[in-house]
Structure 1
Amino acid sequence: MTVQIKYCGCQSEEDYKLLIETKADLIGFIFAESRREVDPKNVNSWIEKYGKPKKLVGVFQNATLQKIKDVMNTVPIDIIQCHGTESIHQLKEIRNHCNKEIYKALPFGENIIEDITAYGKVSDAIIIDSVSQGRFGGTGIPFSWKEVPNMMKTAERLGILCFIAGGIKPENVSELLRQHPHGIDLSGGIEENGKKNVQKIETLERMIMS
């Protein structure tokens, strides 16, 4: 199985112009409170200028249906990623009202297999992210990858994909790839001084494709 690549946290025209030329399958924009949060109007202007050669992911955190719809009215996103404490009922509501693929991010923990089993029934893919000092996502710190094979098997039984996020970078991606994830999700690991970095991306992609 080919590993899917998702580059998240695209936050500038420069980032977008770079990322659409990479081997990424998915490009993510954060529409939630974050240092990488972007304005939907800006995102749409980049897409109009450079086109849409990749699938686009809108990342939300405990957002209202109205907020998600407002973004969708401005940005042609293909996938809604819920990166908060959204319930299974809320995911069903989002799917019913928005008619888009739903990705659910889950924090790695001792109940992760049970969480994947529950949320995987109402999601098209699961993203497992790390938790550090109470922060979920954007920590830049990887969790223990020993459980990755079990997580992949659980997702496969449900017929969905499972991405790994949190602290992935060119220096450690080989270790993760040995666990055979369906996909990897990077943001800070391909940045230099807050901007997506072509050298880091090229290094990472050489390692993935080798």
Structure 2
Amino acid sequence: MSVPKLKLCGLHSLNDVFTVSESSADYAGFVMAESRRRVSPETAKAWLDTCPLPGKKIAVLFVNAPLEEIERTVEIVNPDIIQLQGDETVRDLEFIKNATGREIWKAVPHDTEALEKMKQYEAAADGFIVDAKVKGARGGTGQQFDWSHVPGYVSFGKERGIPVLIAGGVNPDNAGELVKFHPWGVDVSSGIETEGQKDKSLVMEMEKRLNNNENHVS
């Protein structure tokens, strides 16, 4: 098993982008949907122009956004991945993928029907993020779901050769426990923040936990 991929999400300041640039994260995410971490496409582009992130893939997050908004963001930010956090259908995913030519990752809240939903989406999705289900929220809550279900999600991804990232309340204190399940990737936002800003020391601690040789086999 390899070290899990690391996605640092919810960047909402230039300082956050600098913090990610100094990390070993594989992915960086910007929230375009209504959220306390929301940024405009123009702002995200300005930050990336000031502090490029070579070697890291950029994801932009939407919740039930119209295609025109997604296309405009893609034109401005030029992301690698479009992450859909809402009630988008399989047809929506296919339509957005064909229109933008970008990878499409679908967020799925953990519940008893999550794996069945992933099976429905798998033909159109290039990756999945499994997050805690919190009423009235679309991710970024810092809430953790029951990780005893993680092996099922890991198996789903391995059997199909599709990335599945685990999100929801992941932080340096519990990442070592999560890594024991050998997820393809880990998606972190509030777990690496101090007073609403990405904290370099917490990012470094997260990297250390994910690279812990006691929890994976190279």
TM-score by length of 1: 0.97
Give the letter for the 1:14 counterpart: N
Q: Which runs of 4+ in 1 moved over 4 A?
A: none
| Aligned counterparts of 2:62 and 2:138: Cα–Cα separation in 1 | 13
- CA RMSD in angstroms comes to 1.0
Match of 1:37 in 2: 38
Match of 2:117 in 1: 115
SS in 1 for 2:11: coil
CA shift, 1:58, in A, is 0.4
| Aligned counterparts of 1:16 and 1:55: Cα–Cα separation in 2 | 13
Match of 1:105 in 2: 107
2:59 is the counterpart of 1:57: yes
| Aligned counterparts of 2:3 and 2:172: Cα–Cα separation in 1 | 18
SS in 2 for 1:136: coil
Q: Percent identity?
A: 36
Moved more, 199-208 or 128-137: 128-137
CA shift, 1:51, in A, is 1.7
Moved more, 117-126 or 164-173: 117-126
Q: Using CA pairs under 8 Å that are at least 6 residues apart, name the structure with larger relative contact order, 1 or 2.
A: 2
2:144 is the counterpart of 1:124: no
Match of 1:47 in 2: 48
Match of 1:139 in 2: 141
SS in 1 for 2:112: coil
Moved more, 154-163 or 177-186: 154-163
CA shift, 1:133, in A, is 3.5
- CA deviations on 1:90-118 (whole Å, 9 max, x unpaired) are 00100111100010000100012211211
2:3/2:211 contact within 8 Å kept: no
- Pick from 82, 85, 88 the counterpart of residue 83 of structure 1: 85
1:130/1:136 contact within 8 Å kept: no
Match of 1:18 in 2: 19
CA shift, 1:130, in A, is 0.6
Which sections of structure 2, spanning at least 5 residues, go unmatched?
213-218
Aligned length: 210
| Aligned counterparts of 1:102 and 1:135: Cα–Cα separation in 2 | 21
1:117/1:155 contact within 8 Å kept: no
Which sections of structure 1, spanning at least 5 residues, go unmatched?
none
Match of 2:96 in 1: 94
| Aligned counterparts of 1:119 and 1:159: Cα–Cα separation in 2 | 14
